[in-house]
Homo-oligomer: A and B are copies of this chain.
Amino acid sequence: MDGNIVTFAPTSSTCGTCRWSKFCVARHAETEQRSGAPKGPLCGAPLRRGTHLFRQGDELKSLYVVRAGSVKCYTDSEDGCEQTIAFQFPGDLLGFDGMGGGAYQSSVVALETTAVCALPLPRGAQALVESAQVSADLMRAVSSQLIDRQNHALLLGQKSAQARMSTFLLSLSARFAARGCSRTEFNLSMSRQEIANYLAVAVETISRLFSDLQRRGVLAVDRRFVRILSLPKLELMAHEGKGASVAHA
């Protein structure tokens, strides 16, 4: 497909200069480092859209944190089809699924020009474990990833296409808001195709859903720019699923 090779080239940026450090799983990692030697998270040169940070099966060398831009994380099945697992933004942790073995278990690719910081292993892992503060951050980041994936399963398993789309937009909205950006106006860094894969519907369905939402006055969409005209309506649509399922014993 593409022969992009990522040579991770650290720059001199530090966490102190990072706008997003307060969301960052590694926010305590730098200050906790001991003196001497290359230390702390290292920020690499920007990745262009379409460049892979790592691929499923690659040897695990570092964990990463998104510093600027956005990425998508996806898995391949044996028979070559792909499922996007998550879209990730500044402060989000990448690559943890490889920690159980020696290899990444998902692929990560930049959606736009994106910078990431590296926590090289195993030194990084030791730092993560040795510091109670950092370790707590890591726990938080990982459990939040588990929760995200549980919600993704809920979305794929129980919601209609319309509800999936609405839920997705609300989730983006919340994440932009948490980062101090507008809750109601933003640019999508992913294509319709990529949204379709994440929500597990056809591209054409995504297109139709955007049209519907515009017709109903919930959204204004111009290419990748989205303005949410009515958050309450959108929340309503996010809950119109396939009906409640049976109770557990």
Contact = CB atoms under 8 A, between A and B. Distances in A.
A19 interface: no
Interface residues of A, number: 61
The 6 A-B pairs of least Cβ separation, nearest first, read: A157-B200, A100-B143, A50-B249, A149-B149, A100-B140, A156-B156
A99 B248 contact: no
Nearest to A201: B157
Contacts of A49: 249
Interface of A: 1-2, 49-50, 72, 74-75, 77-83, 85, 96-101, 105-107, 109, 125-126, 129, 132, 135, 139-147, 149-154, 156-158, 193, 197, 200, 239, 241-249
A139 B79 contact: no
A98 B144 CA distance: 9
A200 B149 contact: no
Given A82-B248, A100-B142, A100-B143, 10 more contacts: A81-B243, A97-B143, A97-B147, A99-B142, A100-B147, A149-B152, A152-B153, A153-B156, A197-B245, A197-B246
Which residue among A100, A107, A151 has the maximum number of chain B CB atoms within 10 Å of its CB? A100
A113 to B, nearest CB: 13
Given A149-B153, A150-B75, A157-B156, A244 B96 contact: no
Nearest to A200: B157
Contact of A96 (B72, B126, B141, B143): B143
Which residue among A50, A79, A96, A242 has the maximum number of chain B CB atoms within 10 Å of its CB? A79
A242 B80 CA distance: 11
A74 B149 CA distance: 12
A148 B164 CA distance: 22
B241 A79 contact: yes
Which residue among A83, A85, A96, A125 has the maximum number of chain B CB atoms within 10 Å of its CB? A83
15 contacts: A75-B150, A77-B158, A77-B239, A79-B239, A79-B244, A80-B244, A82-B245, A82-B248, A85-B150, A85-B153, A97-B143, A100-B144, A149-B150, A156-B200, A158-B200
